[in-house]
Amino acid sequence: MSGMNFLDLMVRQGNMENPPRTPIVPGFECSGLVEMLGEGVENFQVGEGVMAVMCYGAWAELACVPVENVFPLPPGMSFTDGAAFPVSFLTAYLLLFDIGRLREGMSVLVHSAGGGVGQAVAQLCATVPGVTLFGTASSSKHEAIRGSLLHLIDRNADYVTEVKKISPEGVDIVLDCLCGEHTAKGLSLLKPMGTCILYGSSNMVTGETKSFFSFAKSWWQVEKVNPLRLYEENKCLAGFQLLPLLTRPDGATRVRHTMARLTHLYIKGVIRPRIDSVWALEEVKEAMQRIHDRGNVGKILLEPEKAPIPLMASDSTDTSEACDEEGEEDESECKEREPFIH
């Protein structure tokens, strides 16, 4: 089983600074059984349940992964949770604790709070006493995620004003996956000694294909950071991307230590990935449309062994909604295609 991330959408549209050569197999995380061991591998056994994070290649029935990026499934973890776990929780943990230095009593603002990383951030913040968490999300998601955030703000609202109504001094950590004009807003919200961390640029994805206008607009709206101003205001601007860590020996070690902490929290029942939906590999177009439309709450997964739901002649191939496979009794009554929703 494989996870789908917003980064996959950016890869498909060519919005990567160093795009991979085609043809490629997309996907950055998966779970399953060990089929074969490479020479010298001793820590795993054939048939063992594992999860993995990688630089491409996860959307497949078989994936070849460097052993340092493979992790045993902890007791009680399903393949579904395993496929949704690595990227979101590794990203959230490293953002909060390694870069943001989250401690008791601090405050955090996270954008796209309804996504996989946003929900992981909410769960990890709950492990630290006294943390105040603000989150922005589409109003359509508020009912579904209201219980995971203390202060939920509409993504189209003036969130700077809304945050300062509650915390006039601002926040200690801003997690910015939007970029563009939001970078300047994030810096303005920081308390002294606060950190704004850029870990994405989803505002560049507006249409079905790569848009030079969206890219240029997002770049133009990023405030030109004045180093003098940063140290005069005692603020920090940082960046993070998980994939480059995987190719560095020191980075892989950091990822492995972080995953050990995260699996310990999972075993204790403190954290668990939130699953939006599961799709067949043949339904990747519809699954990607759902994440493109920002319709998911939690992670979207691809299941190689899942049979696709047949599309009727009258069905729209652009839809990400349809009949639930388990509840479908008469295919003639199925108007649209829908994933298996957990």
Per-residue pLDDT of the chain (342 residues; tens, 9 = 90+): 999 998 888 888 776 767 778 888 999 999 999 999 999 999 999 999 999 999 999 999 999 999 999 999 999 999 999 999 999 999 999 999 999 999 999 999 999 999 999 999 999 999 999 999 999 999 999 999 998 888 999 999 999 999 999 999 999 999 999 987 888 899 999 999 999 999 976 555 455 555 454 544 445 555 567 778 888 999 999 999 998 898 888 999 999 999 999 999 999 999 999 999 999 999 999 999 998 888 999 999 999 999 988 754 444 444 333 333 333 334 333 334 444 444
At 15 the pLDDT is 67
* Amino acid occupying residue 113: A
∠ CA 226-184-230, nearest 5°, is 30
Q: Give the separation between CA 237 and CA 227, rounded to whole angstroms.
A: 10
Q: Give the separation between CA 186 and CA 173, rounded to whole angstroms.
A: 9
Q: Give the separation between CA 226 and CA 218, rounded to whole angstroms.
A: 18
168 contact partners, CB below 8 Å, separation of at least 6: none
CA distances, 210 to each of 204, 296, 329, 341 (Å): 8, 21, 40, 30
Q: Give the separation between CA 238 and CA 186, rounded to whole angstroms.
A: 12
At 12 the pLDDT is 84
Q: Which residues face 51 on adjacent strands?
A: 31, 71
Q: Give the separation between CA 270 and CA 82, rounded to whole angstroms.
A: 15
Closest listed residue to residue 300, CA positions, set 14, 70, 28, 93: 28
At 18 the pLDDT is 72
Q: Give the separation between CA 331 and CA 335, rounded to whole angstroms.
A: 9
At 182 the pLDDT is 86
Dihedral over alpha carbons 249, 251, 252, 255 (to 10 degrees): 160
Q: Give the separation between CA 276 and CA 116, rounded to whole angstroms.
A: 9
Q: Supply 226's token pair.
A: 């004045």
Omega prior to 129 cis, within 30 of 0:
no
CB 72 within 8 A of CB 82: no
Please tell me the total number of residues recorded for the chain in this structure: 342
CB 50 within 8 A of CB 34: yes
Closest listed residue to residue 115, CA positions, set 299, 289, 301, 341: 299
Dihedral over alpha carbons 157, 158, 159, 160 (to 10 degrees): 180
Closest listed residue to residue 94, CA positions, set 265, 255, 299: 255
Q: Supply 144's token pair.
A: 């579904």
Closest listed residue to residue 8, CA positions, set 56, 69, 61: 56
Closest listed residue to residue 6, CA positions, set 274, 288, 329: 288
